[in-house]
Structures are given as C-alpha cells and as structure tokens.
Amino acid sequence: MKNIKLRATSVTILFMVILPFFFITYFLKVPGKSVGIVFYLVFSLWAGYEIIKHNQLERWANILLISLVSIVWIFPLDWYQTSATNPNAFWDTSQTGLSVESLVDQLRKGVFFKRDSISNIGFLSLSITYIFVTIIFLVNIKKYASLKTFFKSYFISLFTLIFVPWFLKILFIVNVANLYILFCIFIIPMASDTAAYFGGKFLGKKIIKRSLAPRISPNKSWEGAISGYIFGALFVFIAMYLGKITKDSRFLVLINIRQLIAALIILPLASQIGDLAFSGIKRLLNIKDFSNLIPGHGGLMDRFDSVSFVAVSTAIIMLIK
C-alpha cells in the first residue's frame, strides 16, 4: 500500500511539472513552440543519458554520445526553413493547432527521415549517429570483458540515441498540432496497463500457467496481457475514432477504416511491447531501473516506455492512406 501511494504521488508530481509545458507549447504559438522544442530536447537528453550511462563507458564518452541526440532534432534542416514566398505553416502560423492533414505532413517532413534538400542526403541523422557511436565504441573496445558485452552495450546505446529523440520529436509535433491526440497517446498505455494489472491480479496464471515473458518479466501473465489488449483496443476505438463518428474535427485522429483497423491491432500491442522492450534492456544491463529520478517508478523511460512505442506507432498509422 505504501508503494502504491509513493508511485501515485510521484507520477502526480511528474505530470504537474510537465503538463504546463504541453499547454505552453500548444497555446503560445511561435514562442510556445520555442519553449516546447527546448523542453523536449532536454527531455531527450536526460532520458537518453539515463540509459546509456549503464554502458560501461567513461563519463566523457557518454557525454559525447548523448550530444548525438540533438542530431535527430537538427535534421532535416529544411524542416526549419520558412520565408515569405514559401511559408512553413508549422513555425509561422498565428493559429493554434494544426489539422490532421497538416500534422501528417509535418511528421513526414520532420520525423520520417525525409531527404534533406539542403544537404541532399537521405537518412542523414541516422548516418551521423551510427558513424559516431561506432567510432566511440571501437575506441573503447578494450574496456569490455567480452565481445558479447561490447555488442550488447553498443546496440543498446545506438537504439537509445536514435529511438528516444525520435519518439520525443514525434510528441513535440503532435503537441503543437493537437492536444487531444497527445492525450490519446498518453492515455492508451494507461488504460491498457490498468486493465492488464487487474486482469493479471484476478486471473493471472489460472488459465495459462506459463508467464508471458519469463526471462524478461516473470510476473506478467497471459491473462493480464489479453485483458490489457482487449481494453486497450476498446479505448482506441472510442477515443481515436470519435472524431470520425461524430464528425467533430477537434477529436479527429484516424481518418479512414484502414487506419482504424491498424490502430486496433497495433496500438494495444505496442503499449505492451514497449514495456517489455525496455524491461528487456534493463535485464541486459543487469539493472532494476534506469535511474531513481521518479520515486517508485525509476527513470523517465521506466515511466514512458509504453508511451514511446504508442507514439511512434500512432505516427506511422496516421501515414496510412
């Protein structure tokens, strides 16, 4: 009971801290976007460092590595370009929010590795990150007792330095465009996790004796996972198709039946895979939590593991025509 109170208090304080940034980013137009991009960049740096600091490299090497997070934010360079003859609605608009169509366009331009027209190089942020991570790890290869340990730390660091800023850049763009979609991205994992918790508590291992992922998270049951999936899918349908059903653009997320089908199948699953993926990383690193920043929860990516996979999956689903 004490642990539940601690966790509830911690997460309440956490959201009291970050919620103002969500509203500032959305409502204050261009100044708000400037504040938002700084907030999400700092979030990326902190969340990424919490993970890579366990890779056995010295602090100077990890500081160099975490600076690579900014690469995902910098490129493509032309995403930031705007002029009187070629205005960029994302940065110049005096209106609050963006239509779903404009949001999808910004996701294509700013996130999904569009060719940078200034440098004329595709996948530039990925290439730079891969090259520098590889160099830093090769320089320090003698610090590792075995190649297995070396490659484990290398691939976890590479994944972190690409995925964490990528997911947070998606959140930033969604935050600017539509607070309701941002709300959905955060609530879907909470709904799924809550249903999984109670499903596991009352039905866990009574029907299927084997754990869901015994090596990664032995306490998770199939019954809990199935409960979480069903309730998560129900919530996805209600929350993300509400705008289409009511024809209210304020709640519009999914605009066609193909997106709805993909969301119903993928998003509840993405929530659970995100949890398991970061639990697996912690197992590989032999740690319980990434940090102790949030009492009762751990670090930022201990708290936002499921949200990260749901955010990326939602962005991909919204690209479906």
Residues of the chain whose pLDDT is less than 70? 1-2, 84, 113-122
Quote the pLDDT of residue 219.
85
Quote the pLDDT of residue 120.
56
Q: Where are the alpha helices (DSSP H) in the chain?
A: 2-27, 29-52, 59-67, 69-74, 89-92, 100-110, 124-139, 147-177, 179-203, 222-240, 242-246, 257-285, 300-303, 305-318
Quote the pLDDT of residue 3.
73
Report yes or no on whether pTM surpasses 0.85. yes
Residues with Cβ within 8 Å of residue 320, at least 6 apart in sequence: 256, 258, 259, 262
Quote the pLDDT of residue 127.
87
Residues with Cβ within 8 Å of residue 63, at least 6 apart in sequence: none
Quote the pLDDT of residue 285.
95
The alpha carbon dihedral of 279, 8, 48, 187 has a sign of positive
Quote the pLDDT of residue 210.
86
Quote the pLDDT of residue 113.
59
Q: How far apart are CA 278 and CA 93, in angstroms?
A: 37
Quote the pLDDT of residue 1.
53
